[in-house]
Amino acid sequence: MAETAPAPAAGATTGTSEFDRDTAVVPRAPGVYDADLSAGWTIINAVNGGYLLALVGRALAYELPHPDPFTVSAHYLTASAPGPAVVRTQTVRAGRNLSTGQASLFQEEGGREVERLRVLASYGDLDALPDDVRTTAEPPDLPPVEQCFGPDDAPDRGAVPGSSAIADRLWLKLDPATLGWALGAPSGKGEMRGWFGLADGREPDPLSLLLAVDALPPTAFELGLSGWVPTVELTAHIRARPAPGPLRVSISTRNLAGGFLEEDAEVWDGEGRLVAQSRQLARVRL
């Protein structure tokens, strides 16, 4: 239960946290934002896709008249590298309750701009939504934090796939039932679950949920596959503003076929509310 979990170490607040610093975008001209992709959010050598989504989501929050991402669809085109980047945004439609925008992230490569990902997103105001909840979804059944494990608990940290720079930014405690892969005995079930927060104690908000849906080790590890599982497309729905405190994240894969798999993520906040749902299509090497 979230209530019994220790809060992540108190530290930076919104605005000065690692997450806010590293997803910052600086307006250069209308619809053009400079950014610097931090090496702190890489898995092995790849910049994490959820981090990229949060950064682009921040640029869209500047562009659009509504503050919060409601549904964000990203198609990943080429692998991003740490370093300078530019985000170009466009308003597609500005409505009363929802507005839709488009954004692309580019990096220079060999003297020309290469597009890394393209995003379509609809934004609204989470605080303006009615308070009704008629969900039948149940939060994942996670053991208490002290019975879960993070990269720091591994005897040989370097041997754990995914133990990369991003591990130092996250406060991640995984359900041992989904950690067979780390011990050489993957369960064969496409499940990954754990407690999620930011290592410096920065509290969750709609932008950090865009990171949370793509920050756990891939379910493919529990299916006995190793190596990179590049995202082709990821769509996230942000359904409510998350309460402070640790989040519960549950990811599942049901259909591994033809060299692709889907990853469905759910994020629950400390008040037991389903705050985000996402699905991605990813490639696997068999």
Q: Are 208 and 243 in contact (CB under 8 A)?
A: no
d(CA 108, CA 170): 28
CA 183 to chain CA mean position, Å? 25
| Torsion (CA) 228, 229, 234, 237 in degrees, nearest 10 | -90
Task: Tell me: does residue 21 bind a copy of itself (CB under 8 A).
Answer: no
Taking the complex as a whole, how short is the minimal distance between the CB of residue 46 and a copy of itself, in angstroms?
17
Type of residue found at 175: D
Per-residue CA distances from 5 to 129, 233, 270 (Å): 29, 33, 9
Q: What's the burial of 127, exposed, middle or buried (CB within 10 Å: 0-12/13-18/19+)?
A: exposed
| Other beta carbons less than 10 A from residue 247's beta carbon | 23
User: Could you say which residues in the range 60-89 bind a copy of itself, by CB under 8 A?
Assistant: 70-71, 73, 75, 77-78
Taking the complex as a whole, how short is the minimal distance between the CB of residue 131 and a copy of itself, in angstroms?
7
Interface with a copy of itself (CB under 8 A), residue from 160, 170, 240, 247: 240
Taking the complex as a whole, how short is the minimal distance between the CB of residue 148 and a copy of itself, in angstroms?
24
Type of residue found at 16: T
Interface with a copy of itself (CB under 8 A), residue from 25, 105, 126, 174: 126
User: For a copy of itself, what does the binding mask look like between residues 180 and 219, x meaning CB under 8 A?
Assistant: ---------xx-----------------------------
Task: Tell me: does residue 136 bind a copy of itself (CB under 8 A).
Answer: yes
d(CA 210, CA 22): 14
Smaller CB distance to a copy of itself: residue 40 or 242?
A: 242
* Residue written as token pair 């590049």: 230
Interface with a copy of itself (CB under 8 A), residue from 9, 137, 183, 185: 137
> Which residues of this protein are in contact with a copy of itself, per CB under 8 A?
70-71, 73, 75, 77-78, 92-93, 98, 100, 102, 115, 118, 120-122, 126, 129-137, 189-190, 223, 232-233, 235, 237, 239-240, 254-260, 262, 273-274, 277, 279, 281, 286
